[in-house]
Amino acid sequence: MRKHTLVLSGLLLISSLSPFASYANQPISDPYALGSSPQWLTTKVYIEGAPEQDVKASYPGVVGISMWDPQRNRYEFFYTDTGQSKYADGGGGYFLVSGDRKTHVLIPDKGPNRTIVRRLEKLDNREFTYSREVPRDMVATNPLVRIYVVHAPYNGPIKTAMSN
């Protein structure tokens, strides 16, 4: 009986301390902040270690206007010049934010990629920044680099609507 009491006391002590440990690494991202703007515009792309250099021109595939519906976990991407949807080429589908709010996963409905995993860097109602590893300049034979893609709420003339 004494052994069971000791084990039970140990478990209670561990469980009472674990909530305190979780406060040390609080997530900074609010997945519902994606819904705080109807549209988000890519404002900057930079390579890890060089935040002062905008390299959007080298990574056009990650540049655009995006829409997020946190209620349905749906997303869709659009071209910045025409507002045309990128849905047919994998630019739309489902998304999820991991429980620790550090990972943002895209699951396109169509296109060559089935899952895209991105690290959430910042997400609030003024900025959405993620990072991911891609080949330098998006050339398949180049070495991988970590790019950071920064978005801000878009209030320009192009209006978009989700396909699904």
Domain map of the chain by residue range?
Answer: 28-153
Quick: pLDDT tens for 103-124. 999 999 998 878 999 999 999 9
Q: Note the pTM of the prediction, 2 decimals.
A: 0.80
76 Cβ neighbours under 8 A, 6+ residues apart: 66, 67, 85, 86, 87, 91, 92, 160, 162, 163, 164
CATH, range 28-153: 2.40.128.540
Q: How far apart, in whole angstroms, are the C-alpha atoms of residue 147 and residue 143?
A: 12
Quick: pLDDT tens for 41-82. 999 999 999 999 999 999 999 999 999 999 999 999 999 999
Q: How far apart, in whole angstroms, are the C-alpha atoms of residue 29 and residue 32?
A: 9
Q: How far apart, in whole angstroms, are the C-alpha atoms of residue 79 and residue 61?
A: 10
Q: How far apart, in whole angstroms, are the C-alpha atoms of residue 66 and residue 17?
A: 41
